[in-house]
Structure 1
Amino acid sequence: MTRRKFMQSSAAATLAASASLANAGVGSKDELLLVGTQTTGASKGIYAYSFDEATGELKQTGLAATIENPTFMALAPGGKRLFSVSEASDFAGTTGGGITGFNLDRSTGHLTEINAEPTGGPGTCHVAVDHTGHCAFVANYNGGSAASFHVSDDGHLSKAVSFFQYEGHGPNKDRQDKPHAHRVTVSPDNRFLLINDLGLDEIHIYKLDAKTAKLTPNEPPAWKSAPGAGPRALCFHPNGKWAYCVTEMTSTVVVFDWNAEAGTLEAIQTVELNPEGYKGETGGCDIIFDSKGRFAYVANRINDFMASFTISETDGKLALMERTSCGGKIPRHIALSPNDRWLLVANQVSNNISVFARDAKTGKLANSGKSFELAAPQCLVFA
């Protein structure tokens, strides 16, 4: 199957008529949604939206914070603070990107800056906060590095506590000429930090001292993917026993057993995102689960589709249900609404946020959804 035929098939599925898949009988409730953007165009920073969980309607309520390239954000436990990256090469007069902490007014969505710190490397693309709210972590894609920061009781970020500059390259000369740290993920028990490195085909694993935010290499220090796979995204199942890695360059999902005591990953399944026989350009992007951990949803940002999976209750393995449209071009991030009735997609190139109804019983998504215009959306966080 060629990329052209695959895209034609996907487009046909999108045009198919579909009944509403949202559950009935749930009362109207507005949720606060914060959206990070790429600010090289019309967008100016982080935007606040009111999301109607009964109808799936989005209403922009204002610019929550003016900040350069807030392409990823993380909400701290308790929901009163937000941390955002600035994916830049020059931040506050220093070479590299930045991390900024904000106090969040949940009633208005307004963000008030606490302080900001340089990350030590350019292209800061991901941020995570630990389960205590006192540690923050960043991945620097262009710099091929990662750093940790301590967060005080009043929300102030320290200078970098730990910093790791990776070296080497992968087999793909165009995409893996050097390290590319892409995601930072805290383990469910808060004892480890895992860092996806697309350039080196590795997931680096560190022991975390949550009192200080200090990281020390685990033993073994990393999991190695298939050559040229490009590990991009990582997410733990709600039960804490399994982890799932989306590879960007080979567009697969690798399912792991997670050894919480040793801090190690054991691959038990690899699932293809594209149809059998497809050999064209591809790009696995992101993965999320419903709150009960019965279904997984994965975005492909080159072929512009969503892949929906069931999750085995016994071993966590995935089984493909269907592929549907992402509602735009180049999906960068996906999120489920708090009541699990809607799946939202931030589509960067088509400048829109798509909202798809979801059937909680079957896990299936509507083939077509609502669309809301925003220049270069990158990250979706319900607060």
Structure 2
Amino acid sequence: MRERNWTRREFMRLTGLGSVAMSLACTRSTWTGVPQPPKELWVYVGTYTSGGKGEGIYLCRLDLATGTLHRVGVTRGVAEPSFLAMDREGRYLYAVNELTELDGKPGGAVSAFRIHPQTRELTFINQQPTQGGAPCHLAVSANGRFVLVANYVGGNVSVLPVRPEGGLDAAIDVKQHEGSGANPKRQSGPHAHQVVLDAADRHAFVPDLGLDKIMVYRFDSEQGRLTPGEPGWVSTQPGAGPRHLTFHPNGRFAFGIHEMSPTITAYAYDEKSGVLKELQTVPALPPGFTGTSYGADIHVSPDGLFLYGSIRGHDSIVVHAIDSSGRLTYVEHVLTRGRWPRNFAIEPTGRYLLVANQHTNDIFCFERDRQTGRLTPAGEAVEIPSPVCLLVVPPTV
């Protein structure tokens, strides 16, 4: 599938037609008094632009009737936008610039964009250093006032204030991690791989691949300050390499995937204290598989019944059922029909799961069985160079 280079006028005309259709749907909803379900959703795709072939941040539309993803356009000139996040109102998008050098100095950056409410076109606002090299993940506080960034090479996490117009100010807090892990080749120092906030914005969690720890911080969402939790971390198995953490919709459980094991751990979560208590650790690979593989991403279905994890090397999605105690039961592995599945996303209706296959330059869609959690192929793969992050825009923004 070859993308057409849209002119700005054609882009506006095309997306304008979609806006008219959505407006008519809303009008019909008013007549009947019954909300109409969305027919499509917008999806942003972050890519690698140097080592890979990505041109920037791509914009797609997901057809909810067929599971087909359509490329609409691309915001070019954005260096290494490997991970994306937006505020809850859908007004601003933030992208890490996963660089190890910025303006001749060690470190990376994060870029801020304004989102057009109808076309979803991005307009650059500004960029700020993250005070650490290779920023690889970021999160926006629920009140929209701060962006938190995990710096992989820097081994730290930083907090940047958001200006009233959506731009970013310089970092006001940086927490540097110290130490090493069991594997001298991969864990000679700290490597912060993600920063995630709990539902109440009370605590921030930073899986550090280099330390075999998930660092825990109390987060002041009014001042933008991080304070070490009590305790300040939860340890994983030596050499596991924690990579990503996700919370259950009920807020009582969390689940972490480890890159180097690869395994998945279920935790009980106390939202008042910020304490994670290990419940269970399970393999992320099928029995008998001996090839080299790395855990990547992890998500819970919107209904809270199933957990999904991506595995690079085995190139699959592993599916587990979640019981009422937060424990996991294996369901299946599904090959992603591409190589090196990095980030993936379950869209808000829970019907489809999208997978970014980084090394085969494509995104593939699977339909979820809501009763069993199993995945079946849906739609056609869409070509996106070096896709590494999928950000689905909720239908309410």
Provide the TM-score with structure 2 as the length reference: 0.87
Deviation at 1:202, TM superposition (A): 0.6
CA contact (8 A) 1:287 1:297 kept: yes
Partner of residue 57, structure 2: 46
Deviation at 1:103, TM superposition (A): 1.1
Distance 1:177 1:28 in 2: 48
Among 203, 214, 217, the alignment partner of 2:228 is 217
Query: Which letter maps to 2:370?
Result: A
Tell me, yes or no, if structure 1 residue 144 matches structure 2 residue 144: no
Partner of residue 134, structure 1: 145
Alpha-carbon displacement from aligned partner over 1:218-276 (angstroms, at most 9, x marks no partner): 11111111110100000000111101010111111111111111111100111111123
Partner of residue 59, structure 1: 70
Distance 1:32 1:119 in 2: 28
Tell me, yes or no, if structure 1 residue 260 matches structure 2 residue 299: no
Number of aligned residues: 357
> Which residues in structure 2 correspond to 1:192-203 (within 5 Å)?
192-203=203-214
Distance 1:142 1:215 in 2: 20
CA contact (8 A) 1:123 1:141 kept: yes
Partner of residue 372, structure 2: 362
CA contact (8 A) 1:31 1:51 kept: yes
Partner of residue 207, structure 1: 218
Query: Which letter maps to 2:207?
Result: N
Partner of residue 185, structure 1: 196
Deviation at 1:361, TM superposition (A): 2.2
Q: Which consecutive residues of structure 2, in runs of 5 or more, have no partner in the other structure?
A: 1-35
Tell me, yes or no, if structure 1 residue 331 matches structure 2 residue 320: no
Partner of residue 12, structure 1: none
Distance 2:75 2:316 in 1: 30
Change (3 A) 1:334 1:159: same
Partner of residue 376, structure 1: 386
CA contact (8 A) 1:205 1:221 kept: yes
> Which residues in structure 2 correspond to 1:1-383 (within 5 Å)?
29-40=39-50, 41-312=52-323, 314-366=324-376, 370-383=380-393
Alpha-carbon displacement from aligned partner over 1:45-85 (angstroms, at most 9, x marks no partner): 10111111101111111113531011001111111111110
Work out which structure has the larger RCO, using CA pairs closer than 8 Å and 6 or more positions apart in sequence. 1
Partner of residue 20, structure 2: none
Deviation at 1:91, TM superposition (A): 2.5
Query: Which letter maps to 2:211?
Result: L
Deviation at 1:309, TM superposition (A): 1.2
Alpha-carbon displacement from aligned partner over 1:162-211 (angstroms, at most 9, x marks no partner): 11222221111111111110000101111111111000001111111101
Distance 1:286 1:238 in 2: 17
Query: Which letter maps to 1:270?
Result: T
CA contact (8 A) 2:291 2:314 kept: no
Change (3 A) 1:52 1:182: same
CA contact (8 A) 2:286 2:333 kept: no
CA contact (8 A) 1:331 1:348 kept: yes
Partner of residue 19, structure 1: none
Partner of residue 23, structure 1: none
Deviation at 1:28, TM superposition (A): 7.1
CA contact (8 A) 1:229 1:249 kept: yes
Deviation at 1:367, TM superposition (A): 5.5
Deviation at 1:277, TM superposition (A): 4.3
Distance 1:255 1:158 in 2: 36
Query: Which letter maps to 2:344?
Result: I
Identity between Structure 1 and Structure 2 (%) = 38
After the TM superposition, which parts of structure 1 deviate over 3 Å for at least 4 consecutive aligned residues? 277-280
Distance 1:335 1:160 in 2: 29
Query: Which letter maps to 1:356?
Result: F
Distance 1:240 1:91 in 2: 38
Query: Which letter maps to 1:353?
Result: I
Deviation at 1:288, TM superposition (A): 1.1
CA contact (8 A) 1:170 1:200 kept: yes
Q: Which consecutive residues of structure 1, in runs of 5 or more, have no partner in the other structure?
A: 1-25
Distance 2:382 2:268 in 1: 38
Alpha-carbon displacement from aligned partner over 1:144-172 (angstroms, at most 9, x marks no partner): 12111121332121211111222221111
CA contact (8 A) 1:147 1:160 kept: yes
